[in-house]
Chain A
Amino acid sequence: MSAIPFPAPPADSAEVLALRTEFRAFLARQLEGRTPRQRSDNWYGYDRAFSRAMGQAGYLGMTWPKQYGGHERSAFERAVVVEECLAAGAPVGAHWIADRQSGPSILKFGTEEQRQSFLPRIAAGELSFGIGMSEPDSGSDLAATRTKAVRDGDVYRVTGTKVWTSFAHEADFAILFCRTSGTPADRHNGTSQLLLDLKHTPGLTIKPIIDHAGQHHFNEMHLEEAVVPASMLLGEEGQGWDQVMSELAFERSGPERFLSSIELLVQLIEVLKGRDSEAAQITLGRVTARLAVLRRLSRSVAAMLQEKQNAGLQAAIVKDVGALFEQGLPDIARELVDQEPDPRAAGAYASVLANIVHNAPSWSLRGGTREILRGIIARGLGTR
């Protein structure tokens, strides 16, 4: 039997139901006046004040131990907060990466001092993280990483270049994947992770990479003999590969893998209101069915995480199927409504359509390309 098992998610508990109601009210207050175009930025929206409000209300670091500022809530409760944020188009960018992957990595691999230093500030919504994985010559082939960290007494001297670092120009820290011994030919061996201070590291320069829509999310981080205290080593020297795979598992497991274009669907429904044809009903029905089933698969992943099971394979499936879904919405909208996309339009629909059309290609790149994910799934099926 080759099926990859997805355990049935349990029915929502009273706590989960209450949390959803409470959190929707919180979002309605916080997001009042946020335009459809802004909502369509999804997790590219960056707003420190919103993240602080999330932290103060106890919606960050939800599953972490209380001793580190967490709230010891279930994976399901965290999933509610995450999916409601995405569905509402909340500007989660300032806490997104820290809450999703950097914090959990620090909790899993960090020293006691690192946990106490970083986690409470992430949970408070005050510390923002970027990702330090890709390089000019190492994208999908992460093991080809060349950024080199050389130990020199109490510090590492780091030289290399990282690219596609979302919000490096805004964030406070990034977890840097680098090589602490050997050469790129050593592949997985000799790699490590460092907690890199983006604001106070001598030898670090951050330059914007402007995307095809003219927007500045990405950056290039160049390190030239940059000085990183040895106390900022995350986990064990030489264990970077296993740690970064674990970090990617956190990155791939969430509902952001099918909700990126939800605002387009919302605006499409608004446009169709009152003139809904049979074709519109049929299309909307099929889209809604896909969304509901993806959401269920994602809840199965949450159930596995709650039971501390490895959900890497399941997460790869959700991300692969989810990306196709969210990338397909512009064409579905175009079959129902004639509208040229216009990034500067005042009207909601034209500007949201433009933003989604522009951003859609990234959804099967970030967090592991479609090709990498399908390789992971195929391996899980026993093909290699």
Chain B
Amino acid sequence: MLAEMIQRLFERSLDDKAQTRAKDGEWLGDLWGEVAEMGLPLALLSEDQGGFGLSPAEQGEALRLMGLYAVPLPVVETMGANRLLAKAGLALADGPAGLARADDLAVSGSKLTGTIARVAWGDSLDCLALAVGDTLYRVPRAGWTIAEPGTSANFHPRPTLRIDWAIDASAPLPHCPLAEGATLRAFQIAGALEAALDMTLDHTATRVQFGKPLQKNQVVQHELAKLAGELACATAAADLAAEALERADVLGVAAGTLRAREAAGAGASIAAQMHGAIGFTREHRLHLYTTALWTWRDEFGGQVGWAKLLGAAALEAGGAGFWPMVTEL
């Protein structure tokens, strides 16, 4: 039911013009207002935390829709920040919120200072759920300035923030914001790949070359099958990461995020190739998804960092311990 509401909202209020305005740097305040009114920022909270008490399947569906519509707002980041803040017993965000980890920030006396690179929509957030070491801080907007602008591959703001804040809200860290963010991105990747597959099926069914739809060519059918495989892997990877996050298993999150990142690259490449030159333009909607996939696969920790974490654990487990480790993921 929530899924239907989300679909109706974005079908109604997020058209291609709005997507372009967002890429040109505009904050879609009206759309955020509708998102907030629907209660989406609280979607991952249990009922006693003030949320909807959604099942894991319902949560996954809602999160995938944020990718399927390439929503140009920090909706999943706010959902994740609120989940983290609620778990830590800190006040929830009053507006859009960010997720970050910055272990090199200086904590001296009651002040937190330093910079955090590339925070999604860092100039438009109400607060930041920020981990430093084992502590979670709820940093309000007044606690930072923009040190340097930055832009994602899909042309959304990723500024570097200069934190200078007198600490007044902190708690022991429930789980890592990077694991939270990487898990949410995996769902967005799955959603964007679903949109890319839908579009690719549609394009290859209607585009006629050599007197027949592209889709009648076996080589095209096989690429579509591969894309469906990447989509299946991304969806399963997101679910795997979410279950691992629930039990605070960072290795399971690593496995999920890594495979979703891989699917993002492989899937975007197939969709782009199957669309031909039109897929390389802003005239066709595919670019909303390819550029988002190239963005999301590198955020909340890099691929190298996550792979080293999981790979070191596999090597540590040794030959005999490897399979038992896999069955625990």
Q: A residues within 8 Å of B by Cβ?
A: 1-4, 6, 8, 11, 20, 24, 83, 87-88, 262, 265-267, 269-270, 272-273, 276, 278, 280-297, 300, 314, 317, 320-321, 371, 373-375, 377-378, 380-384
Contacts and interface: CB of A to CB of B under 8 A. Distances in A.
A289 B255 contact: yes
B215 A383 contact: yes
Interface centre among A8, A289, A293, A383 (most CB of B within 10 A): A289
A292 B198 CA distance: 26
A320 B229 contact: yes
B171 interface: no
Nearest to A290: B259
Interface centre among A265, A280, A285, A371 (most CB of B within 10 A): A285
Given A278-B308, A283-B311, A381 B224 contact: yes
Per CB-CB distance, the 3 closest pairs between chain A and chain B, nearest first, are: A285-B311, A285-B307, A281-B311
Given A273-B318, A321-B232, A280 B326 contact: no
A317 B239 CA distance: 17
B319 A266 contact: yes
Interface string B294-328: 00000000011011111110110111101111110
A317 B311 contact: no
Contacts of A283: 307, 311
B311 A321 contact: no
12 contacts: A3-B197, A83-B327, A269-B317, A269-B319, A281-B311, A285-B254, A286-B303, A286-B311, A289-B262, A317-B232, A320-B226, A374-B221
Contact of B232 (A4, A11, A88): A4
B88 interface: no
B323 A289 contact: no
A292 B312 contact: no
Contacts of A297: 232-233, 236
Contacts of B239: 8, 296
Interface in B230-275: 231-233, 235-237, 239-240, 243, 252, 254-259, 262
B218 interface: yes
Taking chain A's interface residues, is the majority helix, strand, or loop, or is none over half, making it mixed?
Answer: helix
A294 B239 CA distance: 12
Taking chain B's interface residues, is the majority helix, strand, or loop, or is none over half, making it mixed?
Answer: helix
Contacts of B243: 11
Contacts of B204: 383
Interface of B: 56-57, 194, 197-198, 201, 204-205, 215-216, 218, 221-222, 224-226, 228-229, 231-233, 235-237, 239-240, 243, 252, 254-259, 262, 303-304, 306-312, 314-315, 317-320, 322-327, 329
Contacts of B197: 2-3, 381
A285 B258 contact: yes
B314 A288 contact: yes
B222 A374 contact: yes
A289 B319 contact: no
B222 A293 contact: no
B326 A295 contact: yes
A20 B218 contact: no
A262 B221 contact: no
A276 B310 CA distance: 13
B205 A285 contact: no
Given A285-B306, A317-B229, A6 B236 contact: yes
Contacts of A377: 224-225, 228-229
Given A3-B194, A284-B307, A286-B311, 5 more contacts: A285-B310, A289-B307, A293-B233, A295-B326, A320-B226
Interface centre among A24, A282, A380 (most CB of B within 10 A): A282
Contacts of A278: 308
Interface centre among B231, B252, B258, B324 (most CB of A within 10 A): B258
B260 to A, nearest CB: 9
Contacts of A284: 307, 310-311, 314-315
Given A266-B323, A284-B314, A384-B216, A293 B225 contact: no
A275 to B, nearest CB: 10
B225 A381 contact: yes
A6 B232 contact: yes
